[in-house]
């Protein structure tokens, strides 16, 4: 075989291996995760970030961390960002989103901002009046929306359920008062407006980008958590109550997509491989599930 044929064969083998990885379900367990709450695909580096609460979700213990994981399911660096190290504040990190070269992370009553790709901490924004910041999504103007699930440290209702809009310079405002709505958790902002799912009541609400209620509730089982949008207007939603990953159509119809998931938390899409990334909160596991429509 000449060098050209050898090179072609090698390229074909690599492509087949990549497709095989993308087409199979990957389960990461016993790798050191400690209450993984959120997964975020970092497209610029083609890797996955995972937040680890590592203790009580409302305790300011400075031991939360964020892991780097390869798309093949290997740990690159377990404690890439470590709350126990100088210069990093992470207590119980939950939702994440990336805007440009900045990583935004919710952490009890603050939003932490880190520089990418090196991971240096840029800013910590205290959101006064909040108690359990959770889901997060980017807005068109470079700000982020953050949900406050509105519970105390013992998970009793605090009555401050809300969606905040937070800007990188530290300014923030309460965009939506959701007290009495059942604990907002996952949030998504796109051209159609804002979608919020609730953990306590298991409802789905639709708002305009300026915060006016458009429709809802669409009632599912309690324990709704992760929320991500697809290009065609569909949504994927995780729910603890029925241990399910749901598919929601652009018209608002909801059906189970994957069942048997114990405490599926905040999800994201590996857009390169058409996979959904699902942390299992109680099992210290991360699933990478191919999407086949």
* Cβ 205 vs Cβ 181: under 8 Å: yes
User: Tokens at residue 156, please?
Assistant: 């009793």
- CA 121 centroid distance within chain: 19
CA distance 103 to 119: 8
* Cβ 36 vs Cβ 51: under 8 Å: yes
Looking at 2.30.140.10, 1.10.10.10, 2.120.10.30, 3.20.20.80, the CATH number of the domain 26-290 comes to 2.120.10.30
pLDDT at 22: 59
Q: Which residue in 220, 217, 229 sits closest to 135, CA to CA? A: 229
Site of tokens 């406050």: 148
CA distance 176 to 186: 14
pLDDT at 21: 52
* Contacts of 155 by beta carbon, 8 Å cutoff, 6+ apart: none
CA distance 9 to 248: 42
User: Tokens at residue 131, please?
Assistant: 């108690």
One digit per residue, pLDDT tens: the chain, 293 residues? 454 444 444 444 444 444 455 578 999 999 999 999 999 999 999 999 999 999 999 999 999 999 999 999 999 999 999 999 999 999 999 999 999 999 999 999 999 999 999 999 999 999 999 999 999 999 999 999 999 999 999 999 999 999 999 999 999 999 999 999 999 999 999 988 999 999 999 999 999 999 999 999 999 999 999 999 998 899 999 999 999 999 999 999 999 999 999 999 999 999 999 999 999 999 999 999 999 75
């Amino acid at each position: 075989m000449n060098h050209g044929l050898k090179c072609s064969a090698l390229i074909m083998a690599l492509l087949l291996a990549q497709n095989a990885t993308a087409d199979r379900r990957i389960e990461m367990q016993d790798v050191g995760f400690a209450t993984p709450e959120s997964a975020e695909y970092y497209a610029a580096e083609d890797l996955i970030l995972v937040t680890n609460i590592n203790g009580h979700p409302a305790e300011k213990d400075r031991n939360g961390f964020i892991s780097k994981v390869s798309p093949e399911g290997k740990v690159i660096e377990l404690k890439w960002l470590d709350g126990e190290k100088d210069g990093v504040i992470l207590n119980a990190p939950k939702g994440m989103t990336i805007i440009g070269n900045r990583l935004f992370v919710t952490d009890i009553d603050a939003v932490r901002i880190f520089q990418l790709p090196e991971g240096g901490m840029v800013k910590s924004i205290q959101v006064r009046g909040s108690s359990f910041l959770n889901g997060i999504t980017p807005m068109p103007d470079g700000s982020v929306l953050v949900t406050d699930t509105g519970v105390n440290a013992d998970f009793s209702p605090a009555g401050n359920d809300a969606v905040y809009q937070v800007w990188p310079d530290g300014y923030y405002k309460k965009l939506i008062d959701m007290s009495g709505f059942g604990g907002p958790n996952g949030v998504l902002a796109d051209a159609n407006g804002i979608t919020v799912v609730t953990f306590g009541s298991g409802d789905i609400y639709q708002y305009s980008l300026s915060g006016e209620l458009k429709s809802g509730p669409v009632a599912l089982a309690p324990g709704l958590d992760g929320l991500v949008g697809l290009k065609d207007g569909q949504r994927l939603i995780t729910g603890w109550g029925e241990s399910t990953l749901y598919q929601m159509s652009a018209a608002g119809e909801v059906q189970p997509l994957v069942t048997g998931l114990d405490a599926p938390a905040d999800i994201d899409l590996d857009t390169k491989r058409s996979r959904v990334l699902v942390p299992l909160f109680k099992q210290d596991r991360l699933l990478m599930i191919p999407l086949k429509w």
